Amino acid sequence: MRTLRTLARSAATTLLAPTLALGSLSANSADEQLRFRVYLDDKPIGQHSFRIDTFGDSRLVASRASFDVDFLFINAYRYRHESRETWRDGCLDEIRATTDDNGKQLRVEGEATGKRFRIEGPDGRSQAGGCLMTFAYWNPDFLSQSRLLNPQTGELVDVSVRRLGPDRVPVEGRKVAATRYELKAEDLSIDLWYNDDLGWVGLESDTGKGARLIYRRI
């Protein structure tokens, strides 16, 4: 189950509240909703949803992940993650994230100050320089990064991305054309799919236990 927990926290990337609430913003925003049903092989275990509000050169990204893995009618693993991020000029400007990892409560907060990004996580405080991004699957630009912020732990994770080429994935009962990428980070290997019109449409990763963690767009 340790590997599933690792996958879940890296998959839960963009989620709770900077001080600016979504409801208080101008109605001129360009809203985008992304919803995924999450499976362990062919068994549904939860959902992960994203709301993206764009205001000029800024974005607010609110997201919620909820996974439950049952074994013999018993809830063997429970995962909840909520976060809200502010992005400015394509870079992370602020993050507030909370996680319930099977009863373990975690919180990450961070904000850009000048040319640095200050992070406060479960293991204390740290800083990063440059244009920082999370595991922002909704934003294909994150595929060009070599280091990403884990929104559950507050850690900076070295990653590598490889373009695997054209493919087709199911979206709402039909197959759509998509470009497939492979992201590697620590002990993770995650495949991602992007459609030219729909954006991010799929995710799969090997749990290391003979099962696949799968996101299907709904």
> By the 8 A CB rule, do 150 and 132 touch?
no
Distances (CA, A) of 32 to 43, 79, 138, 200: 27, 25, 10, 12
Burial of 125 (0-12, 13-18, 19+ CB in 10 A): exposed
Instruction: Report d(CA 145, CA 132) in Å as an integer.
Output: 9
Residue burial 71-97, b: 16+ Cβ < 10 Å; e: rest: eeeeeebebbbbbbbbbeeeebbbbbb
CB 3 within 8 A of CB 143: no
Instruction: Give 28-47 pLDDT, tens digit per residue.
Output: 444 899 999 999 999 999 99
Amino acid at 85: E
What pLDDT digit, counting tens, does each position of 51-63 carry? 999 988 899 999 9
Per-residue pLDDT of the chain (218 residues; tens, 9 = 90+): 444 444 444 444 323 222 222 332 333 444 899 999 999 999 999 999 999 999 888 999 999 999 999 876 667 889 999 999 999 999 999 999 999 999 999 999 999 998 899 999 998 999 999 999 999 999 999 999 999 999 999 999 999 999 999 999 999 989 999 999 999 988 889 999 999 999 999 999 987 777 899 999 99
- C-alpha span between 151 and 73 (Å, rounded): 31
